[in-house]
Copies of this chain bind each other. A is one copy, B any other.
Amino acid sequence: MATNPEPTHERCRARREGDFGWHIGTLLRAYEAAVAEVVADVPHGSRGYQVLDVVVHGDQPTQVALAAHLGIDRTVMTYLIDDLVEAGLVLREQSPTDRRARRVVATATGRALLAELERRVRAAEDSTMEALAPDEREVLRGLLRRVACGLRDIDVTGAGDPPVELPMAAVRS
């Protein structure tokens, strides 16, 4: 790039409302990049972190549920958990109610590591929202949360997949 002092700043007059997909994609890529630095030590980086997070805070009963919740392929989840187990962060236990299933639980080490990482991840998240004022960030977080939660519920009926028939045993809560 030659005598072009200002080109790194793209102009926004070209950025229209129709760029919704670009906006989400850009945000997600920035988020991934920011978080990747923080969780570099966790096996499989941000994905491993997310799995650990759901294992600790979520209540996904099986590995399949875990995978579906995070949008990860179930065959990948096998290796992912393998490596988390090897790192001493989680354990595979036999599910007491279904001997086909493995209940993935966090070790003390895993919970401690997660607690430490959560703070840094939160900071990394905020760094991706630098353009917004603090209260606006909370608005964005709230809206995204409602959209994502709403999607999970309609996803069962709406998007391609046939309604998931829950076995009686699976009905918890």
Contact = CB atoms under 8 A, between A and B. Distances in A.
Number of copies of this protein chain within its complex = 2
A77 interface: no
7 contacts: A10-B153, A11-B154, A12-B155, A132-B150, A136-B164, A139-B171, A142-B171
Interface stretch (A21-29, A86-94, A102-110): A21-29
Contact of A151 (B59, B118, B128, B151): B128
Interface residues of A, number: 79
A69 interface: yes
B9 A154 contact: yes
B35 A28 contact: no
Interface in A117-158: 118, 121-122, 125, 128-133, 135-136, 138-158
